[in-house]
Amino acid sequence: MRRISIRDKMFTEYSDQGNILVNSNKYEAVIVNAAFVSRSYYEGNYDPDKLMLPTCWSSDTQTPSLDVPQEQRQAARCMDCPHNIRGSGYRSSRACRFAQQIAVLPADRLHEVYQMRLPATSIFGQAREGHMPMKAYAEFLSTRDTPVISVLTEIYFDENSNTPKLFFKPIRPLRDEEFNVASSMIIHADTAQAITLDYTPFEGSTQSPFEVTDGFKTNN
């Protein structure tokens, strides 16, 4: 799976073979689809650029996923889990972290799907002086009747954050031919794979969470 790492506050593209293709401090792409927000707990040190199985995870942020081994489940409900308490993780964070995987098409290669994994700080939060996390960005476009997939998006880092935190802003509407290509990629197998958690056994759904998640606009 092609993917984009945001480690060290740099966008690094990795090909299917793991080769580095692009290294930049900002990224222009079309957001074609996204997974629902999930959460995962890693016992010990977690390396975001190393594929490793979490100890416990949840695909709905409410209860451990059914495929989590019984002996690894940290609680029956996420709300009762000790790793859901602020301060259980690094500094004041939660040890069990929220995340969201999105499928993006690079601006100059709309036929190629890349997976990007967003940390909680890049998903939630209010827009400030035009700087928008993912959910606020989707809401911004929704209030203007603009599907997320219909615009070219610039993804960039919060310069005031010590850890990789992303903001999103629209660059321009897609041209008709660009929109047609992007729309055709919504149901592509690579898109489904990009929004599927690596440690889940089920196939990725081609349904867009923008259709049902509050504040996210339907991508069609």
Residue 199: helix, strand or coil by DSSP?
coil
pLDDT in tens, 160-173: 999 999 999 999 99
Comparison of pLDDT for 113 and 218, the residue scoring more: 113
Which residues is 119 bridged to in the sheet?
Answer: 99
Q: How far apart, in whole angstroms, are the C-alpha atoms of residue 81 and residue 98?
A: 14
Q: Is the dihedral of CA 207, 148, 135, 112 positive or negative?
A: positive
Please check the confidence at residue 126 and state whether its pLDDT lies above 90: yes
Percent pLDDT > 70 in the chain is 86
CA atoms within 13 A on the CB side of 163: 9
Q: Give the model's pLDDT for residue 47.
A: 62
pLDDT digits (tens, 9 = 90+) for 164-210: 999 999 999 999 999 999 999 999 999 999 998 756 433 333 334 44
| Of the candidates 143, 151, 153, the residue with the CA atom closest to the CA atom of residue 217 | 143
Instruction: Map tokens 């190629």 to a residue.
Output: 112
Give the mean pLDDT of 116-145.
96
d(CA 153, CA 169): 6
Is the pLDDT at 219 greater than 50? The verdict is no
- What pLDDT score does 59 carry? 87
Residue 112 pLDDT level (bands cut at 50, 70, 90): very high
Whether 220 shows a pLDDT value over 50: the answer reads no
What band does 80 get if pLDDT is binned at 50, 70 and 90? very high
Q: Spell out the domain ranges in the chain.
A: 3-49+100-211
Per-residue pLDDT of 94-110, as tens digits, reads 999 999 999 999 999 99
Pick the range with the lowest mean pLDDT from 25-29, 45-49, 148-152.
45-49
14-23, 43-52, 113-122: segment of lowest average pLDDT: 43-52
pLDDT of amino acid 217: 33
In terms of pLDDT, which residue wins out, 19 or 46? 19
